[in-house]
Amino acid sequence: MNGYKVFQDLHTHTYYSHGKGSPRENVLAAIECGLEAVAVSEHGPGHFTFGVRGKKLQRLGEELISLRREFEGKINVLRGLELNVMDFGRSDCPENRGDYDVIILGYHKSVPPFNRHALGIWGESLLGIKNDPHRNAEGILAAAEKCRADIISHPNLYLKVDIPYMAECCRQLGILLEVNSSRVTLSEEEIRIICKAGCGLVISSDAHTPARVGDFALASEAVTRADAWDFVKNARKVQ
């Protein structure tokens, strides 16, 4: 269609958090789409409403390891986690960070303390600190560096960030910026800026149902508009 194929979906959810399907259903859907790899990257333990933690998180990990064995040769099943920015420079990174194949870090709401604005960290606060996209980016990047994040999910969602600065830092740190296909959070101009900085992109579905695994339509359109396919690390040219 556009001459490129996305071959991995590294950001999918299941009923372990607030998604609808099982990890196995996501894997089967990914095979159906012809993907080479799929990750289940559930919400990290710090997310108050959807966070997967403790024994449940461990059980999910075991399930993914067993699915990896079962589907070996058909698809690569990856163990991911979508961490939450908890505070300036801090995430809910688990102690066994090394057990994960893919670490995504994103800014979400519903993370205690519920209103970080009130702490004066994230913006228009009771303390009169103005929402500053640059400072927001610094806080997220410091957390990303600490947890050795592979991907920053949906930049700008819920919290505006300084994209040129984030792109430059992510290039240096080897972190990819996500073009999220559930909701594209980057403008065409911002995608162009990211590419100009030499920072890599990743396209993901952020599927919350098996039917949406491998659905890259919106992100693909955005990447095409910005002429950015060469920067998408999980896509390659097809004849």
| Given 106, 139, 155, 200, the residue binding Zn ion (CB under 5 A) | 106
Distance CA 80, CA 92 (A): 14
| Window of 55-63, 103-111, 118-126, 193-201 that interacts with Zn ion by CB under 5 A | 103-111
Stretch that binds Zn ion, among 84-92, 128-136, 188-196, 206-214 (CB under 5 A): 206-214
> What pairing do the DSSP bridges indicate for beta strands 151-152 and 201-204?
unpaired
> Applying CB under 5 A, does 51 fall inside the site for Zn ion?
no
If one asks whether residue 42 binds Zn ion (CB under 5 A), the answer comes out as no
Selected range binding Zn ion among 85-93, 121-129, 198-206, 216-224, rule: CB under 5 A: 198-206
190 binds Zn ion (CB under 5 A): no
Residue 204 vs 220, nearer CB to Zn ion: 204
Nearer to Zn ion, 153 or 209 (CB): 153
Taking CB under 5 A as the criterion, the residue among 44, 206, 214, 222 binding Zn ion is: 206
Considering the complex, state which of residue 106 and residue 214 has its C-beta at the smaller distance from Zn ion.
106
Count of CA atoms in the C-beta half-sphere (13 A) of 98: 0
Residue nearest to Zn ion (CB): 106
C-alpha dist (Å) from residue 165 to 159, 162, 171, 193, 199: 15, 6, 10, 10, 11
CB of 19 or CB of 200, closer to Zn ion? 19
Report the sign of the C-alpha dihedral through residues 13, 18, 19, 25, in that order.
positive
84 near 91, Cβ under 8 Å?
yes
Kindly indicate which of the ranges 52-60, 76-84, 115-123, 159-167 contains the residues binding Zn ion, using the contact rule CB under 5 A.
76-84
Neighbours of 158 (CB within 10 A): 11
Q: How far is the CB of 205 from Zn ion (least distance, A)?
A: 9
Q: Which residues bind Zn ion (CB under 5 A)?
A: 82, 106, 153, 206
